Amino acid sequence: MAEFVVWAPLKKRVRVLVDNRKHDMVEESGGWWHVDVPDAGPGAAYSFLLDDDETPLPDPRSQWQPTGVHSASRLYDHDAFFWSDHAWTGRQLPGSVLYELHIGTFTEAGTFDSAIEKLDHLVSLGIDLVEVLPVNAVDGDRNWGYDGVGWYAVTENYGGPDGFKRFIDACHTRGLGVVLDVVYNHMGPSGAYLDRFGPYFAGETIWGPTVNLDGAHSEEVRRYIIDNALMWLRDFHLDGLRLDAVHALHDTRARHVLDQLAGEVESLSTHLGRPLSLIAESDLNDAKMVTAREGGGYGLHAQWADDVHHSLHAVLTGEDQGYYADFATAGLTGLAHVLTRVFLHEGTWSSFRGRNHGAPVDTRRIPAHRFVTYLQDHDQVGNRAAGDRHAATLTPGLVACGAALLFCSPFTPMVFMGEEWGARTPWQFFAHFPDDRLNDAVREGRRSEFASHGWDAAEEVPDPTDVQTFLDSKLDWNEAAEEPHSTVLATYRELIALRKARPELSDPWLDEVDVDVDDDARTIVLHRGGLRLAVNLGDDPVTFDLGLPVGRVLLASEPVEVDEEALTVGPESFVIAEIG
């Protein structure tokens, strides 16, 4: 026997169609409908019929959609999967290094099982947490994942729910935690049937329908989100969630949905006896996201810090278009600011937005490990016209300098797949829907967006719906063994190992960090306790007078000269040394 329940508060009649047999459901309190169906077990196909409409609709909380988002749901039994991670005690975010990957392009096969074959590489690199781009059910066979509509189901494109569990289990047996990117701010444009059941939607965004968090009947819509988050963490043994674009969650209620979510995740963490992390992507430059709930914040464990990325990118590449303009103008002085203050815009003028933006961070009370920083991520690569990575335009020396600044910073560092060996393969925007009209809209919308940023859309923007764009975005793992990629990979491994070996480098208190810069010489000295990171981004050798005796060189990207209190560093290179 199986129990079927669905929330449809405004319907007069609801039936469930189970293996082609209809069953009337009974309305209970709160708009929930229920029926027990004998002889229905795991794998049974089912869908719902609303009022007198004979159109079968998939379950809004379906956990298995093996034949697509428009088809019948299937009963899925979480207890049937055998886990081998019983000794897993979790992985905390502070002190960790994250690795962001997209299952479909991480390997040639693009499945959970093929990704398992590469996990030992991540272990040898020194990764602690693997952050996986969205895997929920989506209409079409290739997608970044942000067009998902089956929030409770794992796409069959990568191997379905059992495949995802095998991947997580394999990570845990290797000491790797897993964070899943989830999208709660909008639904995808095809296959979102929730509004047929009830008032789930509150309007439209450029990405698709947004959810009703504060209107009539919003209580169960909020539960739809929170129950989904708890499901991933509990039933899939995940160690954390990355919450996409939380600034797009429109919630005017006294208790914000993020605060509510953080509270319930804390309760689940206590019950499970392992740390669970919530990481927000926020465009607000507001540390309230990561301020403890007892301090009046939302209590999330971390948020992405785009200002650090933007500053690093502008300094390394010289780009100054769009939102990079203020960071390019600020130069190395701006980089010093974000390395000690997190945000460049902290209530100050943003020329890109045409207004003041952000608020200051209380660096004495909020540790820097609550800010995830990166040189590249899926957005900052994939939202470029050609999807080009740093290694496509920067020298290996500058790539290494950027990595040194990232891993010697007090923040939580994240690596984007392939970055560790300076991958030359692009990572482009791709999506494909069965509906050609949607494909046309995606194609034209993407070109229009890029044209507004100054790129020649006709020449530089690949067709996101062309299968070749997807195939071109797959990693070439053969690169890692070739020069200059193998040297870049060795540098990443050494930097991560040094970060883990020296407590000064993971110390999270920003008021203990000092940065000296010379814009003209293009040099940076980062002070981390008794360590100094000296970076020369210029074209000529530079001598750094550190003011204290140099003890020993711990790591250098090129040979250096040591003379008592001075280090002579070659062009486009770095050195990390003990002083005193």
d(CA 25, CA 46): 13
Tokens 């909380």 sit on residue? 61
Q: 182: number of CA atoms within 13 Å, CB side?
A: 28
First-to-last alpha carbon distance for the chain, in angstroms, is 73
Q: Which of 128, 131, 244, 572 is catalytic?
A: 244
266 noted as active-site residue = no
Contacts of 363 (CB under 8 A, 6+ apart): 340, 341, 342, 509, 510, 511
Q: Give yes or no for a contact between 267 and 258, defined as CB atoms under 8 angstroms apart.
A: no
Q: What are phi and psi of 577, to 5 degrees?
A: -135, 155
Which two tokens mark 451?
């044209």
Q: In 273-395, which ranges are continuous DSSP H helix?
A: 306-317, 325-341, 378-382
Q: According to the 3-state scheme, what is the secondary structure of 227-254?
A: HHHHHHHHHCCCCEEEECCHHHCCCCCC
> Residue 343 — left, alpha, or beta (φ > 0 → left; ψ -120 to 50 → alpha)?
beta
Q: What are phi and psi of 372, to 5 degrees?
A: -90, 125
Widest Cα–Cα separation across the chain:
86
Q: Which of 147, 181, 281, 572 is catalytic?
A: 281
Q: In 10 A of CB 337, how many CB atoms?
A: 18
For the chain, helix, strand, coil in percent to 5 are 35, 25, 45
Q: Please provide the size of the chain in residues.
A: 580
Contacts of 460 (CB under 8 A, 6+ apart): 385, 386, 450
d(CA 109, CA 263): 39
Q: Give yes or no for a contact between 567 and 543, defined as CB atoms under 8 angstroms apart.
A: yes
d(CA 345, CA 358): 5
Q: Give yes or no for a contact between 457 and 448, defined as CB atoms under 8 angstroms apart.
A: yes
244 noted as active-site residue = yes
Q: According to the 3-state scheme, what is the secondary structure of 81-123?
A: CCCCCCCCCCCCCCCCCEEEECHHHHCCCCCHHHHHCCHHHHH
d(CA 419, CA 15): 51
* H or E stretch at 60: none
d(CA 39, CA 177): 38
Q: What are phi and psi of 523, to 5 degrees?
A: -125, 155
Q: 329: number of CA atoms within 13 Å, CB side?
A: 12
Q: Which residues are catalytic?
A: 244, 281
